[in-house]
Chain A
């Protein structure tokens, strides 16, 4: 069956069934809906299928396409446009399925519908072939994810959710402004066919060159490009725009964070990959994110905030790959996003299970759980190995594509930063998380492993982490760029010239990991966390903005308020009092009669203004 709507809509609309079903039926629907979406992505949309809709004034929307940028080569060097729809759509739907399985025991009735709207619209973004559908679903994601954040039950959840939604709404306005500024000249240029089509907004190798403010025809569209980039980077979690991420994610429920970790940042990665591939600036942004995430993750005490910072770090790898912009790098960024969603969700499921069974979230309160939570521990360790790119895990077969791409392009700075960041990842996510939570000092906690459905979800993802590590070909086969492959090779070997599991590659990686591990245990006394709140740039809204509001913005506002009352209300009142012939000061309601007079004065004033203006002309 061929469907003519974006497959993500199955999830978005299906979310509204959930409130009406109960018990086992609800569980069934919860898992079937995302599974159905996944099936629809693979079976119901034939290759090359395009759905268009007419929009206002002869424009058109393209809600479903496999090739968001079309199939014609762009740029002077015949750069083929990337199509990452299949790889991102697949992993989003897969994530929604396993995430739903993990959250069957979640009692909050609004979280799963919110997560479905969120995941469904993320899938719709990957199928959008025009900028407006993309934006619409982008905003819908913000709405769904806010519901997910708010279903957490911690004491800071509400405030963190407020900050979360505020940042995303502002980001949305910035993105919209950028899109409009960029779209206007296109819409008014009669020679442009289908001005909303995404390929008009792809600024990678064509127009967006490093820091240059030049793109498109009109002067303003350079600004538009910047606004679009900033709007996307807000969602990608790039510092300093991304402080909402470690602020809000740990405040969601034990299941909510699993969903949150997957979609917002990776959708931003997808959109950057489509629109800004090869923009040199992104290499620096990516490197900054990789380092930033590590520094804060090492300093952090809350186990899920550690993992939230490591999202920033991992997304940094992907964005760096997008900045490099070669076919290998873009393949690497997509593959890494795919693998990352799985192992990061696995880590957060493991942390979520610990939180669910113990109610504790700080490293300093946890430890010694290996006694009674073996399944959770093993799954956590597999996730930790995968994120550290240990051989025979998914991280190993995907992350190295990006570092290799940096090496191929001789971008030494990026290569060093990424290698150092790989070691750092092992330090904080690979060892620190499992060590402090499951081993280290036994604090006498004896919780059981979580319920079966949660265990099942973890085992599925743990299995996938290993499967993609030993047999990555299915993933390689859906990456954006396919090159001719010789017999017995796979895509990795065809593009880099060396197999994934070459001796030097494995040895180099093990060396890196061993020295990082050695460093961890040598530095252990210094790394033991005490109770701290790490002040990230989210201090901007925790401390700086309230301070700014109280001391800097409010005083002039008060003065403005005085002026407003003075000029617009009191002065006309005063004027009215002056022109009143005979005010009887005895028994009338001052406010009422005077404001009436004030309005009259205002009318006269406006008439005066119009007359003067008219006569001066």
Chain B
């Protein structure tokens, strides 16, 4: 008999990626059970990442050498608190979004494509989890391509074959590919200089080089990586692919992608800036993080102003997402413990809030047929739970006390002040004021306007849509009141990240 239990525990890190990969390929074969199949797969992956997280939280990091190749030649998976946390977030959101997807997909996507949808969906999740878990720079690129290509496909499946979804997807494809190739170039140059692809080893080689900052190849690699990563994170001004992609994608896809894809982009930035280049190179010798902070600060303000001008709630939230990426980037670019912790906490908090809000808008689209501001009118009376979720999420975006957003801003403002940057602290608070305005537009429409058109006949969305939404929004409130888990993890992870390399 095969010792099955041991097989699983020994290969836990591999299973996190292999399970959804095989699951995704098999999803085409399971007929009309594709949704159930995907739910089981994502649920098991969530359990796996949870096991990983508890293991890493208790003890030191984990290493896993694929196929028992020594890590310098083969691919190595490395799990520390940082990526265990991100893995938990990604798989958790993926699980909840998969549950949510059932009705939304039935509503928006032709029945004969459901199997393909779930297949691609699982592969996208595979890519995102893979990027997060791997300790090999080239492997990052490969999995990045897997996740990107599948996400392009998912976005293109927008409601009723909307041609705008196709063009948005094409646009994302072109820009995304440029970004990915920049990342590839950056990795290539680093390989040239260091002769290794293993992240920890790269760091060691770079540290061993006496004149790393004078090496033109490294500088070029750094520039290519920063631009490629900024594009993948949708950092202003390279965010132009994001608003339309989020607006026209199917509801479930928007919720999942908005909550995870850009966050994994930020995670890559963490890995490249802190783990590979290390604190000293990135923040002392090469202060081009100034550019990151400037982009983030300008982005917070300009995307806030742009969000205010939107008439489509989904697009409004999409612009707000770009602004929130600004907070996250500003936090880690400060490179002090509070800033990085704030950035990490906000990755989780924003994923929960924005994922929940996009789900709520999906429920609106399900009942009313659109997400324009006029579709939201009078929703407070017609769909009280959905409207309540949007309101609670909006309070989180503002950073109202007792929501998760408050915890994030608490650390980010602390980080900014600790870094001596009053201007940035002010920008963060000013961004909250802009958030008040654009959130208010939605709240006003929902509670102070009379329903008209299809909204007037709408009833509360089915529980299969409302419950996952409430779960995410509930999490964002819970972790706003009791932030022990998120903030504690973030602070520990930040402390481990700042010295650089792999601890």
Could you tell me which A residues sit within 8 Å of B by CB distance?
54, 56-57, 135-136, 139-140, 143, 158, 169-170, 173, 176-177, 180-181, 184, 187-188, 220, 564, 568, 592, 595-596, 598-600, 602-603, 606-607, 609-611, 613-615, 617
Interface residues of B in 411-459 (CB under 8 A from A): 411, 413-414, 417-418, 422, 425, 429, 432-433, 436, 448
**Chain B positions 221 through 245: 1 when the CB is less than 8 Å from some CB of chain A, otherwise 0:** 0111011001100000110110000
In this assembly, does B483 line the interface, its C-beta being within 8 Å of a C-beta of chain A? Answer: yes
Complex A-B, nearest 4 residue pairs according to Cβ-Cβ distance, in ascending order = A610-B223, A136-B401, A614-B219, A599-B240
Residue of B nearest to A560 (CB): B305
In this assembly, does B286 line the interface, its C-beta being within 8 Å of a C-beta of chain A? Answer: yes
In this assembly, does B167 line the interface, its C-beta being within 8 Å of a C-beta of chain A? Answer: yes
**Contact A173:B432 (CB < 8 A) given known A136-B402, A603-B238, A606-B227:** yes
User: Chain A residues with Cβ under 8 A from B179's Cβ?
Assistant: 603
**Chain B positions 296 through 318: 1 when the CB is less than 8 Å from some CB of chain A, otherwise 0:** 00000010000000000000000
**Contact A610:B231 (CB < 8 A) given known A158-B448, A169-B436:** no
**Contact A184:B400 (CB < 8 A) given known A614-B219, A617-B213:** no
Residue of B nearest to A600 (CB): B178
Q: Is the CB of A56 within 8 A of B487?
A: yes
Residue of A nearest to B222 (CB): A614
Nearest Cβ on chain B to A154's Cβ, whole angstroms:
15
Interface residues of B in 463-485 (CB under 8 A from A): 483-484
**Contact A140:B401 (CB < 8 A) given known A57-B491, A180-B414, A607-B227:** yes
Q: Is the CB of B417 within 8 A of A614?
A: no
Nearest Cβ on chain B to A16's Cβ, whole angstroms:
12
In this assembly, does B174 line the interface, its C-beta being within 8 Å of a C-beta of chain A? Answer: yes
Beyond the given A136-B402, A184-B414, A184-B417, could you list 15 further A-B residue pairs with CB under 8 A, ordered by the A residue number?
A56-B484, A57-B487, A169-B436, A177-B429, A180-B410, A181-B417, A596-B171, A596-B175, A599-B241, A603-B179, A610-B291, A611-B219, A615-B216, A617-B285, A617-B286
How many interface residues does B have (CB within 8 Å)? Answer: 51
A-B contact pairs, 30 of them (CB 8 A): A56-B407, A56-B488, A56-B491, A57-B487, A57-B491, A140-B402, A143-B400, A158-B448, A184-B414, A220-B422, A564-B302, A596-B174, A598-B240, A599-B238, A599-B241, A600-B178, A602-B237, A603-B182, A603-B238, A606-B230, A607-B227, A610-B223, A610-B291, A611-B219, A611-B223, A614-B220, A614-B288, A617-B213, A617-B285, A617-B288
In this assembly, does B462 line the interface, its C-beta being within 8 Å of a C-beta of chain A? Answer: no
**Chain B positions 264 through 289: 1 when the CB is less than 8 Å from some CB of chain A, otherwise 0:** 00000000000000000000011110
Could you tell me which B residues sit within 8 Å of A by CB distance?
167, 171, 174-175, 178-179, 182, 213, 216, 219-220, 222-224, 226-227, 230-231, 237-238, 240-241, 285-288, 290-291, 302, 400-402, 407, 410-411, 413-414, 417-418, 422, 425, 429, 432-433, 436, 448, 483-484, 487-488, 491
Q: Is the CB of A173 within 8 A of B171?
A: no
Residue of B nearest to A615 (CB): B219
Q: Is the CB of B401 within 8 A of A139?
A: yes
Q: Is the CB of A611 within 8 A of B220?
A: yes
**Contact A614:B286 (CB < 8 A) given known A139-B401, A592-B167, A607-B182:** yes
**Contact A180:B413 (CB < 8 A) given known A564-B302, A617-B286:** yes
User: Chain B residues with Cβ under 8 A from A184's Cβ?
Assistant: 414, 417-418
> CB within 8 A of B400: which of A139, A188, A613?
A139
Nearest Cβ on chain B to A608's Cβ, whole angstroms:
9
Cα-based distance from A139 to B226 in the complex (angstroms): 40
Residue among B222, B240, B287, B407 facing the most chain A CB atoms (10 A cut-off): B240
Cα-based distance from A589 to B216 in the complex (angstroms): 41
User: Chain A residues with Cβ under 8 A from B287's Cβ?
Assistant: 617
Cα-based distance from A136 to B480 in the complex (angstroms): 12
Residue of B nearest to A598 (CB): B240
User: Chain B residues with Cβ under 8 A from A610's Cβ?
Assistant: 222-223, 226-227, 288, 291
> CB within 8 A of A603: which of B227, B411, B417, B491?
B227
Nearest Cβ on chain A to B405's Cβ, whole angstroms:
13
User: Chain A residues with Cβ under 8 A from B230's Cβ?
Assistant: 606
User: Chain A residues with Cβ under 8 A from B487's Cβ?
Assistant: 56-57
Q: Is the CB of B417 within 8 A of A602?
A: no
User: Chain B residues with Cβ under 8 A from A598's Cβ?
Assistant: 240
Residue of B nearest to A135 (CB): B401
Residue of B nearest to A561 (CB): B305
User: Chain B residues with Cβ under 8 A from A158's Cβ?
Assistant: 448
Cα-based distance from A220 to B418 in the complex (angstroms): 12
Cα-based distance from A568 to B171 in the complex (angstroms): 18
Q: Is the CB of B418 within 8 A of A599?
A: no
Q: Is the CB of B401 within 8 A of A188?
A: no
User: Chain A residues with Cβ under 8 A from B288's Cβ?
Assistant: 610, 613-614, 617
Cα-based distance from A82 to B401 in the complex (angstroms): 27
Q: Is the CB of A54 within 8 A of B484?
A: yes
Q: Is the CB of B286 within 8 A of A606?
A: no
User: Chain B residues with Cβ under 8 A from A54's Cβ?
Assistant: 484
User: Chain A residues with Cβ under 8 A from B410's Cβ?
Assistant: 56, 180
Nearest Cβ on chain A to B240's Cβ, whole angstroms:
5
Residue among A596, A609, A610 facing the most chain B CB atoms (10 A cut-off): A610
Nearest Cβ on chain A to B279's Cβ, whole angstroms:
16
Cα-based distance from A54 to B488 in the complex (angstroms): 12
Cα-based distance from A177 to B410 in the complex (angstroms): 10
Nearest Cβ on chain B to A242's Cβ, whole angstroms:
20
Q: Is the CB of A602 within 8 A of B238?
A: yes
User: Chain A residues with Cβ under 8 A from B491's Cβ?
Assistant: 56-57
Cα-based distance from A527 to B291 in the complex (angstroms): 65
Residue of B nearest to A133 (CB): B401
Cα-based distance from A140 to B483 in the complex (angstroms): 19
Residue of B nearest to A599 (CB): B240
User: Chain A residues with Cβ under 8 A from B422's Cβ?
Assistant: 220
User: Chain B residues with Cβ under 8 A from A615's Cβ?
Assistant: 216, 219
Residue of B nearest to A150 (CB): B448
User: Chain A residues with Cβ under 8 A from B182's Cβ?
Assistant: 603, 607
Residue of B nearest to A176 (CB): B429
Cα-based distance from A118 to B240 in the complex (angstroms): 43
Residue of A nearest to B491 (CB): A57
Residue of A nearest to B218 (CB): A614
Cα-based distance from A598 to B240 in the complex (angstroms): 9
Q: Is the CB of B418 within 8 A of A602?
A: no
User: Chain B residues with Cβ under 8 A from A564's Cβ?
Assistant: 302
Q: Is the CB of B167 within 8 A of A56?
A: no
Residue of A nearest to B225 (CB): A610
Cα-based distance from A13 to B305 in the complex (angstroms): 36
Nearest Cβ on chain A to B292's Cβ, whole angstroms:
10
Residue among A139, A158, A609 facing the most chain B CB atoms (10 A cut-off): A609
Residue of B nearest to A158 (CB): B448
Q: Is the CB of B483 within 8 A of A56?
A: yes
Cα-based distance from A181 to B429 in the complex (angstroms): 13
User: Chain B residues with Cβ under 8 A from A181's Cβ?
Assistant: 417
Q: Is the CB of A607 within 8 A of B223?
A: yes
Q: Is the CB of B448 within 8 A of A595?
A: no
Residue of B nearest to A616 (CB): B288
Cα-based distance from A600 to B227 in the complex (angstroms): 12
Nearest Cβ on chain B to A591's Cβ, whole angstroms:
10
Nearest Cβ on chain B to A252's Cβ, whole angstroms:
16
> CB within 8 A of A613: which of B213, B291, B433?
B291
Nearest Cβ on chain B to A516's Cβ, whole angstroms:
44
Cα-based distance from A408 to B230 in the complex (angstroms): 67
Residue of A nearest to B306 (CB): A564
Q: Is the CB of A607 within 8 A of B171?
A: no
Q: Is the CB of A603 within 8 A of B224?
A: no
Residue among A135, A181, A568, A607 facing the most chain B CB atoms (10 A cut-off): A607
**Contact A595:B414 (CB < 8 A) given known A139-B400, A617-B285, A617-B286:** no
